[in-house]
Amino acid sequence: MKLNSKVYKQLTNEPFEKQEINGKIVEFHYMDDTPFLVQFAARGRFAVWTSDGNDYKVLIESTYYEALKPFYEYDVNVIWLNFLDRVSNISRKVNMWFIIPTLILYAIGAIIALAFFQDQTLPILLGLIIIVVISNMVQSRLVNKKVREENQNTQDKIREFLGQEAFDQLVKNQEEHYQQYFKFDEVEESTEVTEVEADAEPIVEEINEEKDDK
């Protein structure tokens, strides 16, 4: 599953850490050394997972990594990559259930309309488009529901592996990092802390950055 593939391609510098998980390479790159620091960190996104569909590169702000280092250790990343693989499979299966049948229905309907109901072609095509839109909405809701379920299971596995006390400490570390980081920006760059922090999410919600952050 490709994630932020354009960012992935631009991360060509030497990673500060590399892991091999289930035959896939996971590289860690400091966000500080890239043009993406302002783009992501200003929105409270200090860690961004990217992939070319096979290997992964994690773009992460240096002080954030130090504060939450246990959350990116090998065994936790094994759990996380298994989650990404399951999400990819869910998306692929749901697409097969909805997109292909919908496209076939639209093609058949359009051919029949053009061949036998030329006077009603436009209304028929509009009706088919409405069906496609509804199908996409149902598909999106179904995928989101299944991803949320997998997400919760993944959170539980990570919490179990780290231990509740350690997990809670990481949540605290993350909150402190946000406060310190944006307090610094307020002094140096007059950033409106309240607006930025409103977009910042706790560690347990980062897993919800579907296919994006961890």
| Nearest C-alpha neighbor of 63 from the set 178, 165, 167, 204 | 178
pLDDT at residue number 213: 53
Where helices occur in 50-192 by DSSP H, the ranges are: 62-67, 74-116, 121-162, 164-189
Region 14-36: mean pLDDT is 93
Rg (CA), the chain: 22
pTM of the full structure = 0.69
Mean pLDDT calculated for residue range 36-41: 90
DSSP 3-38: ESHHHHHH--SPPSEEEEETTEEEEEEEGGGSTHII
Confidence category of residue 204, pLDDT binned at 50, 70, 90:
very low
pLDDT of residue 62: 94
The CA distance from 101 to 31, in Å, is 42
Least confident segment among 40-44, 73-77, 109-113:
109-113
Domain ranges within the chain, ordered by starting residue: 2-206
Highest mean pLDDT among 58-67, 179-188, 197-206: 58-67
pLDDT the model gives residue 194:
32
**pLDDT: is 184 or 57 the higher one?**
57
Residues sharing a CB contact under 8 Å with residue 101, sequence separation 6 or more, in sequence order: none
Higher pLDDT, 95 or 167: 167
- For 50-65, what is the mean pLDDT? 93
Residue 175 has a pLDDT of 93
The per-residue pLDDT for 92 is: 78
Type of residue at 208: N
